[in-house]
Amino acid sequence: MTETIRVLLVDDQELIRLGFRLVLDAEPDIEVIGEAADGDEAIRAVLADAPDVVLMDIRMPRTDGITATREIVRAHPGTRVLVLTTFDLDEYAFGALDAGAGGFLLKDAQRSELTAAIRAVHRGDAVLAPPVTRRLVERLRAAPAPTLPDDEPDPTAELTDRERDVFLAIAQGLTNAEIARHLFVSESTVKTHVGRVLAKIGARDRVHAVILAHRHRLVDASAPLPPDTRR
């Protein structure tokens, strides 16, 4: 039997929540278990019902989606957060990614995109298209370098040389296919390396890996971004 994905809807607009509920309730493997109108309600609902995925709006009264995401991810690591945004370059959405969200989705996404994103986040994947990852890389490069504590551990300390190569390629925004071509290995090999890298550096997903690499200044900010080679 297919596992049912339990979803909490968080948005301050009731009609938007209703629209998402109508779409998701039609899916055999997705169950909407509750709704919340702001971040405070979302935090309480996650504590009470432990949903698998939270579909989280960003701009809400009282507690916003970024603050709520950070608290939910910290206190309930088994719950994944997929944030909603009106614009794909909304800096609030990038803030939510830094807070621990598994990705973000545009509010005008197609039905198939919404359901696929929820399933992907539930699996532990990051819902970010390669061009969006590249824009995230560009924003991180433009940001001032953070001041890290002297005792901050090096996230690459346990990586092999090949795993470090993969980690730095992820940090540059490369897809598995691009990494495979760059390292002259198969995509399945890259996928295995990516899984090991994320586990060793303690990253939730590829987005978190990108943030860690730039936070620790492991990527040359002056180096050009790789071209988008998707077809």
Structure tokens at 214: 């730039």
Question: Could you tell me the CA-to-CA distances from 110 to 22, 137, 220 in Å, in that order?
Answer: 13, 26, 37
- pLDDT mean values, one per 10 residues, the chain (231 residues): 88 93 95 96 96 93 91 92 75 76 82 89 72 66 64 83 92 83 92 92 81 78 46 35
- Pure H helices in 124-175: 130-142, 161-171
Domain borders along the chain are: 5-127, 136-215
Q: With 0.85 as the threshold, say if the pTM is over it.
A: no
Beta pairing, strands 5-10 & 30-36: parallel
Position 231 scores a pLDDT of: 35
The residues pairing with 154 across neighbouring beta strands, listed in sequence order, are none
Question: Could you tell me the CA-to-CA distances from 228 to 178, 186, 231 in Å, in that order?
Answer: 9, 19, 9
Q: Which H/E stretch holds residue 18?
A: helix 14-25
Structure tokens at 37: 């109108």
The residues pairing with 104 across neighbouring beta strands, listed in sequence order, are 83
Phi, psi of 133, rounded to the nearest 5 degrees: -60, -40
Position 9 scores a pLDDT of: 97
Structure tokens at 203: 């990253």
Query: 224: which DSSP letter?
Result: P
What is the distance between the alpha carbons of residues 213 and 106, in angstroms, rounded to a whole number? 26
Beta pairing, strands 104-106 & 5-10: unpaired
**Domain boundaries 136-215, CATH class:** alpha beta
What is the distance between the alpha carbons of residues 230 and 213, in angstroms, rounded to a whole number? 23
How far is the first Cα of the chain from the last one, in angstroms, to the nearest whole number? 36
Q: What is the second-level CATH architecture of the domain 5-127?
A: 3-Layer(aba) Sandwich (3.40)
Domains 5-127 and 136-215 share a fold: yes
